[in-house]
A = this chain, B = another copy of it.
Amino acid sequence: MKNLEPTIDLIINSYKTHGGINTAEDQDLPNKQSVVEILKDVQSLIFPGFFTEELVNSDNLRSVTGEKIYRITKALTRETLRSIGYYCKKNETTCKGETCRQRAANLVHSLIAEIPEIRRIASTDIQAALEGDPAAKSIEEIILAYPGFEAILVHRIAHFLFKQGLPLIPRIMSEYIHGKTGIDIHPGAKIGEFFFIDHGTGVVIGETTTIGRNVKIYQGVTLGALSVHKSMADKKRHPTIEDRVTIYAGATILGGKTIIGNDSTIGGNVWLTESVPPGSLIYNQYSQNSSQKKNT
């Protein structure tokens, strides 16, 4: 076997040459795997009995719940501290150890305290799935086997943390569920109750999107930006979807000024860059555009 030392030296040197892409000295980033484990714990806090082997009953419910909350608190505080500490250094603000810890603790506690509200909204999303999909056989099936429902639940958690100004962790959460479901919702997006995504693969919902109540979207729908200049970073770049809108598979709706009015239906593969009034029905006229060559 070759002597590996010269190669080791070359790689060490390359850490200096392309230094911008290294973690700085002793810098402590949030750990992806830990964030995912925490997220799973939060999910099982929201739906006790669904994601663990352990049986839950009225005797052990408080003990099981208490343990889970303490475990989440401990782990999420650690990752939050890393995330905030990292951020402080980056922006050279003064952020003393103690204040960072305090902020992390408060932020984590506010998430725990939000759980009952997240549970309430999640029950509206389950309602929407039950009504929206004839194949749905039970609440349990939706919780266990609907990727759209799981993606929305994770989004509601990540969005809460995003609103508190926590960097990195919400994005790690949204990328985890994107990888798992193919549904890519930026944690900045605002989404109303009774939301349902069916199948979901390929759905993209951008950072400044606003979605109302009782909206239903299908696989491959993009709610995106028209322009991607860095100068746009703080502006509304993604569309607004009002209440009771349905958007079928593959439709693309772009632009921060684009508003889809209440009670509209957007057909499959439609491409929209302008607002439509309430009650619109927008379809492509595909059949006319196809050149059909039959065998006869």
With known contacts A10-B113, A25-B57, A292–B276 Cβ distance under 8 A: yes
Residues on the B chain within 8 Å of A141, using CB: 167-168, 171
Q: Are A249 and B69 in contact, with the CB atoms below 8 A?
A: no
Measured CA separation A250–B222 after assembly (Å): 10
- Chain A, residues 198-230, CB within 8 Å of chain B (1/0): the string is 110111101100000000000110101100111
Tell me whether chain A's interface is mostly helix, strand or loop, or mixed: mixed
**A window 252-296: CB within 8 A of B:** 252, 263, 267-274, 276-287, 289-296
With A11-B116, A23-B49, A74-B67 already in contact, the answer to whether A3 and B4 are too (CB < 8 A) is no
Q: A21-B126, A219-B222, A249-B252 are in contact. Are A290 and B295 (CB under 8 A)?
A: no
Task: Point out the residues of chain B lying under 8 angstroms from A32, CB to CB.
Answer: 51, 144
Cβ distance A68 to chain B, nearest Cβ, rounded Å = 8
CB distance from A110 to the nearest CB of B (A): 10
For window 1-28 of chain A, which residues contact chain B by CB distance below 8 Å? Answer: 1-5, 7-8, 10-15, 17-18, 20-23, 25-28
A208 to chain B: closest residue by CB: B135
* A188: chain B residues within 8 A (beta carbon): 135
Beta-carbon nearest neighbor of A126 in chain B? B21
26 contacts between A and B (CB under 8 A): A2-B105, A3-B5, A8-B65, A11-B116, A21-B126, A22-B48, A23-B48, A23-B50, A23-B56, A31-B53, A63-B74, A63-B77, A134-B233, A135-B188, A135-B233, A145-B174, A147-B178, A179-B180, A201-B202, A222-B268, A277-B295, A278-B295, A279-B294, A281-B293, A282-B290, A285-B289
